Each structure stands twice: as structure tokens, then as C-alpha cells.
Amino acid sequence: MSDLKARFEAAVANSKSLSERPDNPTLLKIYSLYKQATAGDNADPKPGFTDMVARAKWDAWKKLDGTSADEAMNQYIALIESLR
């Protein structure tokens, strides 16, 4: 396993034990970076306007289209470390 992948997995584990719950924009950033790092560009159909949570998640992930998995992992790691 690469060093980056190991650091990413450690950051994912650390994200579950943050001292404080992040605000909603930060939670969306965490979610979108995780999805981009693990699933790549968002190809899912856009949720309907009545499902505001799913739509916010979809929009946040869609903004990262074109970001490489390695870059998303690096950003995710940096974000989680900044919240500890």
C-alpha cells in the first residue's frame, strides 16, 4: 500500500473521532473529498430539488470533477489534520 493511501486511511479513521463536530460546509467538504478520492468524478444522477441534503452532497462532489484521486486524498488529509 502506498504511503499516501495509508495516510488517507488514517485520516478517515481520525475523522470519526474529531473533538468537535464540524460545521455543515466543512462536513460537505469532507464528504466530497472522500467521494472524489474513492470513487472519482461524480457520475451519479442529480437528486431532485426536494431532497436538499442529497442535493447539497451531490453539488459539493460535482465541484471536484477533474480532481485526481491523489490530490483529493492530500486535501482530505490536510483538512482532517486542520480539524484535530
* Cβ contact 55:46 at 8 Å: yes
pLDDT at res. 3: 95
Closest by Cα among 15, 8, 1 to 68: 8
From the list 61, 82, 76, the residue with the least C-alpha distance to 12 is 76
All domains in the chain, ordered by first residue: 3-15+23-83 (1.20.80.10)
Q: What is the pLDDT along the chain (84 residues), one digit of tens a residue?
A: 689 999 999 999 999 999 999 999 999 999 999 999 999 999 999 999 899 999 999 999 999 999 999 999 999 999 999 998
